[in-house]
Chains A and B, each alone.
Chain A
Amino acid sequence: MKKSRLVLTVLLSSFILLGGAIWMVKTQPNIKNKLREILGLNKTQDEGIKTENELSQKTQKKPSRLLALPEFKLIDQNNEPFSSQEMVGKIWVVNFISTRDQKTAEMQTANVSALQSRLSNFELWNDVLFITISVDPEYDQPNILKAYSESLNVSLKNRKFLTGDRNTIWELCRDLFTLDFGKTPPAPGNLLFQTNDIILLDRGANFTGHYNGVQEKDIVKLLGDILTEIPKKEGKIAVPESIVTPLWLDDRKAEQLKTISEFEVYHDFMFTDKLNETGINFRNQITGAGGRYYEAVHYDHGNGLAVADVDNDGWEDIYFVTQLGTNQLWRNLGNGKFEDITAKAGLEMKEQISVGASFADIDNDGDADLFVTTVKDGNRLFENTGNGTFKDVSKPSGLDYRGHSSGSVFFDYDKDGLLDLFVTNVGQYTTDSLITMKVTHPDNPLQNGTYTYYAPLKDAFAGHLKPERTETSILYKNKGNNQFEDVTEAVKLNSKAWSGDATPLDADADGWVDLYVLNMQGDDEYYENVEGKYFKNKSRELFPKTSWGAMGVKSFDYNNDENLDIYVTDMHIDMGSSRNKTPIVAAEKMKTSNTNADFLQSENVLFGNAMFQGKSDGTFNEVSEEINGENFWPWGLSVGDINADGYEDIFVASSMNFSFRYAINSVLLNNKGKKFMDSEFILGVEPRKNGISAAYWFNIDCDGSDKLRFECQERSGKYEVFGAMGSRSSAIFDIDHDGDLDIITSENNGAPMVLINNLSDKKEALNYLKIKLIGSSSNKEGFGAKVTVKTKLTTQTKVKDGKSGYLSQSSIPLYFGLGETKKIQQIDILWPSGKKQTIRDNIPTNDLLIIEEK
């Protein structure tokens, strides 16, 4: 047992020096199975279920086809010729029936139909051909086959019923489908043979597997093989395999559909990912730390995205953030299309690792300026020079702090009419040595190139246990003329939290904006603003327990009681959960999470997401269980009334990526302020477009330098490795100005989703009002203004804070859904300056109302 591993260790060390983490893999079947179960891997795929029916014993397994394809000609159900040419490039699923004399024919046909329907969700579907061949060819003439398929409601898309010459079929079955029923076919009039086998051939017409067509588990296995085995043969490996066939998505969808009777609110609308139609070809590119050289480090928190109308043309533009390559600004052309104006706008930044971005009008000149956080490359401030072009004023502004900055929020803490800035710092999670990484993406070469990033600390996620790694978050006072001053100490802010984000809110309604600061590795913090002079730590007084791994935060009034509530998402609670089950309760997730006291270093842990329901006296009740506030592997959240019924709904960007399982993005539809209904499947947000939840991650060479990687276990050759897709942040706004709210996401290592809402097409009477605020004695952006819209149905209170998604702040109009009324009785605005304004007359609906501070 005491084998020396020195040679291996030296070898490994050299890889580590190159920045590569290598995982040695031993074969421990039982433990591995347990681990795979934890990861959500489909056990049945591993166990290789054998077909039990003796009818399936006649198949010979042949590993690969070395001979040329046999030529053949048959006839389909429409009396059209069908030849071997049809096989080229297609994956074949073949079964054999007699329409008049086979007990199992109908069951087989139904099972293939079920498979066909399942596969139609996947992109691969277009490459699959379902073939049913008659074993009774003299009787089963085309008209018989056609009538048969119609009687069983078979969809003939990608599917054919074939008949033809007895000897041709016999030879075909023998040579191509490896069915061995003897040397010569039975005499005409007799069935050629009977089998329940379904044969799978890959694109090269190679035998890939046989499955019992009347056994449900075999059909499931066949589906799995089509989606995993065939890509594997084509040089693709998914880690874990379940990301390619997330069968639990079907179960989850079915469960969600069962809850429809509980919906008291409008839900008959859908989101569709229309990225391709927009022309946006931005792609988020991560550091190797989150991909090829996976190490557990905060780089995996990804990037934000921010939205603002940078050129004041009335259309909101989108700023995408990436770790490697340049962030990009896409101008909304108003016709559903976007244009990349990064270079023109002077915003190319190619050398740094960016994290988050915020838009705000810092100089009150009526346009949106831009702040970007980076990892140890200096944060950036870009002043908008008026027409959508920007000037880098990072250095003179004093905002060019170099550290592990993350989210940033503009708000006016001292009510001088200038927006101040709070920058959250995570803590030291990198070393000073640089790793060079070459990006060569097969589908999206735009960001290809060679990049460097700071090497992660190997124990980054234990950073909170090491006080010397603390990086205090910073409050900057805006002194005017684009000059900022670090006043953190002066105002007694001393946030040592490992903070990824924060939100301003005036919880005690004293007119001075307070700060809720997230901690991703410990207790959240709450700082009450004492008249703009200093901040008082009221963390445990107001929030005795908080989510330990807090990622996203948004304060809003979910129950329309005019008190602001705070919703916080907690990621770490979910790390060990095996898969997405319902009901989702924190207690279930907790069982598989690290709840070790030495690691948590806190006795104030609230497991799972938190919904702090605000009360009129400025205190909070935690009600996440009652309102169904839990979801899976959440990051940032955005809030918006996506069904325009007068209650705010929630989108939670979710899922970890390579090498973890896939988790769904969550849409929580507000059920009249009582609770939230899981509705991502009902509203078309899940499954993702084409049913795909896996994406290309990196290449490996199992004969070369990657030999020791776990993916290369029992493999040789070159492969593309696929990981789970995952969102990090989002913004909710009316992208296409059709009156309903759309969702745009920031994906970790992927292209964004542009989820277009069809509510305006579906709902006959869609009623809403958008409000743009223009401050005068208050900051021009109107950040901090509280707007109350009263109709006979609801009183909605919203604070304009620009918070939308993780790591981001946007400059977008407030959106009020009005439900079934068109009539707004009154709008009250409480400006940050303290001014109160009431509007009663001539209030438009289904329009943008611009309100200037008076």
Chain B
Amino acid sequence: MLVGLGIVIELLTLAADLSLISNPLASSSSDTLRIQFTGELHNWQFLYPGKDGVFYTSDDVKIIDSDNLFLPSNKEILFELRSKDYFYCLDIPELEKSQIAVPDMLFKLNFYAGKPETLSLFPGAICGTINDNLNRKINIVSNHEFNNWLENN
């Protein structure tokens, strides 16, 4: 049952991603690390494309229960935000960046991860105050550390 559910979710995500492919603005060079954010039940799920840089391949890494996200330093980053239910808001105060996730829509947030540092990821107030579950830390680390983390997930 778990596997079945997983496949359905993957298919839905894939369907959403196809619309992304058809959008010329969505194409990004291999210099950019894409990460999918999916809001569900007042929580975030994250999908990394793995070493091959392509989603929906065997080396994808899904992060579903972690307080920490990792990003490699000196890299262009693109978050692709979707929601399966609620309206989600995301703030990264250190970068003065914000974005939203809405069912049936795709929104993006891009930035350059520079030197190693830790950023915070908060839910924005317009989506309600009681969303502690959406809090995360974004750790920008060296390439080596990042790859280690990815491999261990």
Residues of A within 8 A of B (CB): 1-6, 9, 12-13, 16, 21-26, 28, 31-32, 34-35, 38-39, 239-240, 294-296, 458-462, 465-466, 572, 575-576, 592-596, 598-599, 659-660, 710
Kindly provide the distance from the CB of B141 to the nearest chain A CB, expressed in whole angstroms: 16
Contact indicator B99/A710 (Cβ below 8 Å)? no
Kindly provide the distance from the CB of B68 to the nearest chain A CB, expressed in whole angstroms: 9
22 contacts between A and B (CB under 8 A): A2-B65, A23-B131, A25-B132, A26-B67, A26-B135, A28-B132, A28-B135, A31-B67, A31-B122, A38-B122, A38-B125, A239-B130, A296-B127, A296-B128, A459-B86, A460-B87, A575-B126, A594-B91, A594-B124, A598-B99, A599-B89, A660-B129
B85 contacts chain A at the CB level, 8 A cutoff: yes
Contact indicator B128/A26 (Cβ below 8 Å)? no
CA distance A465 to B107 in the complex (A): 12
Nearest 8 A/B pairs, CB to CB:
A459-B87, A575-B125, A31-B135, A462-B87, A596-B98, A462-B102, A576-B125, A458-B86
Complex interface: chain B residues within 8 A of A459 (CB): 83, 85-87, 102-103
From A2, which residue of chain B is reached at the shortest CB distance? B64
CA distance A262 to B136 in the complex (A): 47
Contact indicator B87/A26 (Cβ below 8 Å)? no
From B149, which residue of chain A is reached at the shortest CB distance? A1
B5, B41, B125 interface centre (most CB from chain A within 10 Å): B125
Complex interface: chain B residues within 8 A of A460 (CB): 87
B75 contacts chain A at the CB level, 8 A cutoff: no
Contact indicator A296/B41 (Cβ below 8 Å)? no
Contact indicator A576/B124 (Cβ below 8 Å)? yes
From A576, which residue of chain B is reached at the shortest CB distance? B125
Kindly provide the distance from the CB of A726 to the nearest chain B CB, expressed in whole angstroms: 14
B77 contacts chain A at the CB level, 8 A cutoff: no
- 1/0 per residue, CB under 8 A from A, across B83-104: the answer is 1011101010000001110110
CA distance A576 to B128 in the complex (A): 10
Complex interface: chain A residues within 8 A of B132 (CB): 23, 25-26, 28, 31-32, 35, 710
B139 contacts chain A at the CB level, 8 A cutoff: no
**What 10 additional pairs, Cβ within 8 angstroms, besides A16-B41, A23-B131, A296-B86?**
A2-B64, A24-B43, A26-B135, A32-B132, A32-B135, A295-B128, A459-B85, A459-B102, A462-B100, A598-B99
Kindly provide the distance from the CB of A27 to the nearest chain B CB, expressed in whole angstroms: 9
CA distance A462 to B124 in the complex (A): 13
B2 contacts chain A at the CB level, 8 A cutoff: yes
CA distance A693 to B137 in the complex (A): 34
CA distance A458 to B104 in the complex (A): 13
Complex interface: chain B residues within 8 A of A461 (CB): 87, 126-127
Contact indicator A458/B87 (Cβ below 8 Å)? yes
Kindly provide the distance from the CB of B102 to the nearest chain A CB, expressed in whole angstroms: 4
CA distance A623 to B46 in the complex (A): 45
Residues of B within 8 A of A (CB): 2, 5, 41-43, 62-67, 83, 85-87, 89, 91, 98-100, 102-103, 105, 107, 120, 122, 124-133, 135-137, 153
Contact indicator A598/B126 (Cβ below 8 Å)? no
Complex interface: chain A residues within 8 A of B133 (CB): 23-26
Contacts A24-B42, A31-B137, A599-B100 given; indicate if A296 touches B65 (C-beta within 8 A).
Answer: no
Contact indicator A23/B107 (Cβ below 8 Å)? no
Contact indicator B87/A296 (Cβ below 8 Å)? yes
Which of A21, A24, A296 makes the CB contact (< 8 A) with B126? A296
Complex interface: chain B residues within 8 A of A598 (CB): 99-100, 107
Kindly provide the distance from the CB of B58 to the nearest chain A CB, expressed in whole angstroms: 15
From A595, which residue of chain B is reached at the shortest CB distance? B98
Kindly provide the distance from the CB of A201 to the nearest chain B CB, expressed in whole angstroms: 33
A1, A5, A239, A460 interface centre (most CB from chain B within 10 Å): A1
Kindly provide the distance from the CB of B114 to the nearest chain A CB, expressed in whole angstroms: 22
Which of B64, B91, B135 makes the CB contact (< 8 A) with A5? B64
Complex interface: chain A residues within 8 A of B67 (CB): 26, 28, 31
Contact indicator B65/A1 (Cβ below 8 Å)? yes
CA distance A460 to B103 in the complex (A): 11
Contact indicator B86/A23 (Cβ below 8 Å)? no
Kindly provide the distance from the CB of A601 to the nearest chain B CB, expressed in whole angstroms: 11
Kindly provide the distance from the CB of B117 to the nearest chain A CB, expressed in whole angstroms: 14
Kindly provide the distance from the CB of B31 to the nearest chain A CB, expressed in whole angstroms: 23
Complex interface: chain B residues within 8 A of A22 (CB): 42
Contact indicator B66/A1 (Cβ below 8 Å)? yes
CA distance A659 to B128 in the complex (A): 8
Contacts A3-B65, A461-B87, A599-B100 given; indicate if A34 touches B126 (C-beta within 8 A).
Answer: no
Contact indicator A2/B62 (Cβ below 8 Å)? yes
A3, A295, A459, A594 interface centre (most CB from chain B within 10 Å): A459
Contact indicator A31/B120 (Cβ below 8 Å)? yes
Complex interface: chain B residues within 8 A of A24 (CB): 41-43, 133
CA distance A23 to B127 in the complex (A): 13
Kindly provide the distance from the CB of A739 to the nearest chain B CB, expressed in whole angstroms: 43
From B128, which residue of chain A is reached at the shortest CB distance? A296
Kindly provide the distance from the CB of B73 to the nearest chain A CB, expressed in whole angstroms: 21
From B81, which residue of chain A is reached at the shortest CB distance? A598
Kindly provide the distance from the CB of B99 to the nearest chain A CB, expressed in whole angstroms: 6
Complex interface: chain A residues within 8 A of B43 (CB): 24
Contact indicator A12/B128 (Cβ below 8 Å)? no
CA distance A39 to B120 in the complex (A): 16
CA distance A599 to B135 in the complex (A): 20
CA distance A534 to B133 in the complex (A): 51
Contact indicator A594/B131 (Cβ below 8 Å)? no
From B98, which residue of chain A is reached at the shortest CB distance? A596
Kindly provide the distance from the CB of B13 to the nearest chain A CB, expressed in whole angstroms: 16
Complex interface: chain A residues within 8 A of B127 (CB): 296, 461
From A711, which residue of chain B is reached at the shortest CB distance? B130
CA distance A661 to B116 in the complex (A): 35
Which of A34, A465, A575, A660 makes the CB contact (< 8 A) with B120? A34
Complex interface: chain B residues within 8 A of A9 (CB): 41
CA distance A460 to B85 in the complex (A): 11
Kindly provide the distance from the CB of B79 to the nearest chain A CB, expressed in whole angstroms: 12
Kindly provide the distance from the CB of A793 to the nearest chain B CB, expressed in whole angstroms: 45
Complex interface: chain B residues within 8 A of A295 (CB): 86, 128
Which of A4, A13, A458, A576 makes the CB contact (< 8 A) with B103? A458
A5, A593, A594 interface centre (most CB from chain B within 10 Å): A594
Contact indicator A23/B42 (Cβ below 8 Å)? yes
Complex interface: chain B residues within 8 A of A16 (CB): 41
Which of A1, A458, A710 makes the CB contact (< 8 A) with B130? A710
Which of A2, A458, A593 makes the CB contact (< 8 A) with B153? A2
CA distance A775 to B42 in the complex (A): 56
